[in-house]
Amino acid sequence: MDPYTPTPADRFTFGLWTVGNVGRDPFGEPTRPPLDPTHTVAKLAELGAYGVNLHDADLVPDGSSASERDRIVARFKRALDDHGLVVPMATTNLFTDPVFKDGAFTSADARVRHYAIAKTMRAMDLGVELGARTYVFWGGREGAEVDGGDKLLDALAWYRDALDYLSDYARGQGYDLRFALEPKPNEPRGHAFLPTVGSALGFIATLQHPEMVGLNPELAHETMAGLSFPHAIAAAIDAGKLFHVDLNDQIMGRFDQDLRFGAENLKTAFFTVLLLEEHYDGPRHFDAHALRTEDEDGVWAFAAGCMRTYKMLAEKARRFRADPEIAEALAAYRADDPDGAWPPRYTAEHAAALKARAFELEPLRRRGPGLERLDQLTVELLLGVR
Ligand code: GLT
Ligand code: MN
Ligand code: MN
């Protein structure tokens, strides 16, 4: 078998909303018909995916009766069973309904905030019923264009109140769920609350149950903010908070593109995969969609492409580690200090000696760390000539 053909062991997942994206944009109508979720399940299984994720409303339209909901869910579960797909992550659509136009958990109208919590509890019930262990919070409408609304501090407090309430709900129900916050700097709002991985990490520390809340960083979102995705992932890993990941691609400084993984920034994709392969064992979720130009065949080519590129980059990551010249360049980049081990242990005596130490700085100023060579070796590896 082609080594880059995905299998469920690779744990690739897509959202119903990703392959199901109909190609609507702010200037144009849909270019593709909606997909039946059971058809999506069958196609994703055929392509070698492991799972499918969803918003409540991707499966059960808002306002469905209880019996309609149960009928839709039973049919979807049958499709999952028939095709061996799982639902590792679920989330709530708190952005499409006009009721959320000025925020859900951060709406200035307390009735909307209460409704958002109620909708999320029902969506959590659905996610857990389908087997989800990760619950994502993307605050699509949590933001502002007008700071004259004077709610910058209140909005963060309301966001915190809602997450605290929902953590208690999940615990009260005995749900085995972890929450993953997904930052984004803007779009659809002018300024989003919790715009980056760093801001979300700081916020989590203020929650009542910080241990059950982590991050779902998205490549496109950090890139829109002008930041590096590998750096953001590293910060989340360092904090023990990489609970989930949204892989896609994006041109910096553009609208939210959600391009096929690896379509734009191959080096970013490579260093992302290197980190994930070595420090993350959750599902590899593609939060992207086919270009608006494409028909359904293009959608499945897009989905297969995301997974295939990930696998090719995972193979490159293994070669990066196994390459003796790269290993040698990496070893040369890091220099030990013959006069003292790292990390230094503080004692008053050590501090006094360190302050008094006569450093020979001239050789350190002159030393070239070899990064040009290292980077070129990486490029050659990625281009397939080593
Ligand atoms: C929406 C958004 C994504 C989020 C999804 C989860 S919905 O498509 O663009 O980044 O991950 O709510
Ligand atoms: Mn996105
Ligand atoms: Mn996303």
Are 258 and 354 contained in the same domain? no
Is the CB of 16 within 6 Å of ligand 1?
Answer: no
Per the annotation, the verdict on 58 as an active-site residue is yes
Structural domains counted in the chain: 2
pLDDT category at 285 given cuts 50, 70, 90 is very high
Are 218 and 334 contained in the same domain? no
Are 201 and 312 contained in the same domain? yes
Are 154 and 82 contained in the same domain? yes
Q: Given 297, 316, 335, which residue is the final one in a domain? A: 316
Are 124 and 234 contained in the same domain? yes
Q: For residue 114, give every residue at least 6 positions away whose Cβ sits within 8 Å of its Cβ, in sequence order, or none.
A: none
> Residue 2 domain-assigned?
no
> Residue 85 domain-assigned?
yes
* pLDDT tens per residue across span 166-176: 999 999 999 99
What is the CB-side half-sphere exposure of residue 188 using CA atoms within 13 A? 15
Per-residue pLDDT at 313 exceeds 90? yes
* pLDDT tens per residue across span 82-136: 999 999 999 999 999 999 999 999 999 999 999 999 999 999 999 999 999 999 9
Angle, helices 296-322 vs 266-279, to 10°: value is 70
Ligand 3: centre distance to CA 264 (Å): 17
Range of the structural domain that residue 260 is part of: 8-316
Are 343 and 198 contained in the same domain? no
Are 268 and 330 contained in the same domain? no
What DSSP letter does each residue of 142-206 carry, written as one string? -EES-GGG--HHHHHHHHHHHHHHHHHHHHHTT---EEEEE--SSSSSSEESS-SHHHHHHHHTT
Active-site residue (options: 25, 39, 58, 285)? 58
Quick one: which atom of ligand 1 is closest to the CA of 221?
A: 10
Q: Given 296, 316, 336, which residue is the final one in a domain? A: 316
Answering whether pTM is above 0.95, one says yes
Q: Which of 14, 16, 17, 194 best tests ligand 1's pocket when mutated (most atoms within 8 Å of CB)?
A: 17
> Residue 3 domain-assigned?
no
Q: Given 276, 297, 316, which residue is the final one in a domain? A: 316
Active-site residue (options: 2, 25, 36, 55)? 55
Quick one: which atom of ligand 1 is closest to the CA of 184?
A: 10
Q: Which ligand is nearest to the CA of 224?
A: 2
Is the CB of 220 within 6 Å of ligand 1?
Answer: no
Quick one: which atom of ligand 1 is closest to the CA of 91?
A: 12
Is the CB of 186 within 6 Å of ligand 1?
Answer: no
Are 74 and 141 contained in the same domain? yes
Are 70 and 186 contained in the same domain? yes
Written as six digits, the tokens of 141 are 């409408």
What is the CATH classification number for the domain harbouring 57? 3.20.20.150
Are 223 and 365 contained in the same domain? no
* pLDDT tens per residue across span 221-266: 999 999 999 999 999 999 999 999 999 999 999 999 999 999 999 9
Per the annotation, the verdict on 55 as an active-site residue is yes
Are 99 and 79 contained in the same domain? yes
Are 352 and 266 contained in the same domain? no
